[in-house]
Structure 1
Amino acid sequence: MAPAGTPPAVVEKINADMITASRTEAAITAVRAGGSETGDLSTVQCRDFLRRETAMWAEAAKRAEVTPE
């Protein structure tokens, strides 16, 4: 994620660097220790994933009548 208005080329560079870093043994080990897996999402795939997850959890919170404190 980056601030709104970040140039697309900068976003793509950050994404490429994050993918490279996530492929290191140290990153894989750390992420797996937390019960997760690393992934190689493009910026578009990441955006779409976050939109789906946000909608899903917003609906779950609404159904559970969760309110902000």
Structure 2
Amino acid sequence: MKISISLPDELVHYVDDRVENRSRLIEGLLQAWRKQQEKQAMVEACLLLDELSNDEDAAWQQAAIIDWEVSG
């Protein structure tokens, strides 16, 4: 798919002086950005699971203490 974006002239000149294919550069940068975003989402999901797991562990520990105290 073709798209159109606006960039400052100086940035276009900078890119043109350094790469042969602007589209390939932008595609590579966007792919890297997408991977980083996906990785960050996975980190956040893992942290949330860890937090839920810790809450669950605390509840189990509290229940075990209560059971132990009641059974005396």
TM-score (norm 2): 0.39
Kindly name which structure, 1 or 2, has the bigger radius of gyration based on alpha carbons.
2
TM-score (norm 1): 0.40
